[in-house]
Amino acid sequence: MVDEPITHLYNMKYITLTLLLFIALSTPCSLHAQESNPLLASDQEQTLLVPDEDDIIHQTLSGASPYYYTNLMLKYNNGTEALTELEYHYLYYGFMYQEGYRPFAENEPLDRMLAVMSGIDPDQPTVWQLETIIENGLEALKIDPFNPKVLNIMAYAYGALGDTTREELYYNHLNGVLSTIENSGTGLKEGERWHVLMFSHAYDLLASKGYAYNESRIISREAMFIPIAQRPKERIKGFYFDYSRIYRNKPDDVTFKRDRTWQFNNLKPQEYK
């Protein structure tokens, strides 16, 4: 049987709008700091929630805590009720203290997922393509459960198949993860850097905001700087990220393999250069 495009399964205008909505954060944040974050609406203030390691350990490893990690992950995976900002915060940064956190592990399902996406027509995907994306996406999330590019593509695939419930689930997870990273600092100074668990998450955050960027520069044992292509009327040269968690338990024989990012606006893969 020929695998036909499934344009008849969903409204094309709706899907196009939905893809654009994936790049937006669900809730504007505020900032109690001297500099406002240019990625946020100018009339909003951002409340920073910088990860405190002692607090994260206490909250996520104690069975008596409302943020006990096992329960949070069940809620995250089940998707039967919305997660709060704090729950996403403890989920994301608490992942570092779980056995599954392996930032240097190869993610072959992600590679297969992106291979399918590289040949897809976003307006006319086939059922086989979408089902293959979802199958590999579920496996990729077992390795990196908070990968923004995977969450973004999973929302697209489920939406294209007409499964609006799972589409909304992954859309909300995408926004929750991006918001958590963005709320960890302003990104404008080394002392107010954004905290990430994977190098690719830093690039995905910038891609989700539509920034074109250049090769990152390591500036200390904890911080890296990613230069961006400046926009008209903006004076921002780039953003700072805290990558220290990635190397805290790094095996001696592991070297960093640069990851691929995703252009959130048009669903086309991009290689770092």
Task: Provide DSSP, 201-241.
Answer: HHHHHHHHTT--B---EE-SSSEEEEEBPPPTT----EEEE
Q: Locate all alpha helices (DSSP H) within 144-192, ordered by sequence.
A: 148-160, 164-182
Could you give the C-alpha distances from 80 to 76, 147, 172, 178, 179, in angstroms and in order? 8, 20, 12, 20, 20
Q: What is residue 248's predicted lDDT score, i.e. its pLDDT?
A: 84
Q: What is residue 250's predicted lDDT score, i.e. its pLDDT?
A: 53
User: What average pLDDT does the segment 68-73 reach?
Assistant: 97
**Per residue in 235-248, pLDDT tens?**
899 999 999 999 88
**Per residue in 225-235, pLDDT tens?**
999 987 777 88
Delimit the domains of the chain by residue range.
7-31+47-270
Is the pLDDT assigned to residue 264 strictly greater than 90? no
Is the pLDDT assigned to residue 175 strictly greater than 60? yes
Is the pLDDT assigned to residue 22 strictly greater than 90? no
Is the pLDDT assigned to residue 86 strictly greater than 80? yes
Is the pLDDT assigned to residue 10 strictly greater than 70? no
Is the pLDDT assigned to residue 121 strictly greater than 70? yes
- Could you tell me which of 159, 169, 166 has the C-alpha nearest to residue 267? 159
Q: What is residue 249's predicted lDDT score, i.e. its pLDDT?
A: 61
Is the pLDDT assigned to residue 262 strictly greater than 60? no
